[in-house]
Amino acid sequence: MGITEAEIGNILLGLISGLLGILIWVAKSFATTILAEIRKLDRRKAECIGQFADDADNRNAHGRIFDKLDEHESRIVRVETLTQGDCGK
């Protein structure tokens, strides 16, 4: 005799269960990979933000140094100007 309807139902149920299991495994693998890449991107973002902050701090520090140099240069020019005026008298 042939296969009964109950056996066909069991075969189909087993096949659907197997396919569903494979689908869940693939989805889990995909999600794990995506989450790992997101973590890498988050770490890289934090590194970039840190580097940017360091660059900004360096830029600010250099700006303060240049301001001080300009201030000293103007003082030197004033002293030289005053000194030259005194020597001529």
- String of DSSP letters for the chain: ----HHHHHHHHHHHHHHHHHHHHHHHHHHHHHHHHHHHHHHHHHHHHHHHHHHHHHHHHHHHHHHHHHHHHHHHHHHHHHHHHHHHT-
- pLDDT of amino acid 35: 96
- pLDDT of amino acid 86: 65
- pLDDT of amino acid 87: 60
Q: What is the pTM of this model?
A: 0.48
For the chain of 89 residues, list the mean pLDDT of each consecutive stretch of 10: 88 96 97 96 90 80 90 92 71
- pLDDT of amino acid 69: 93
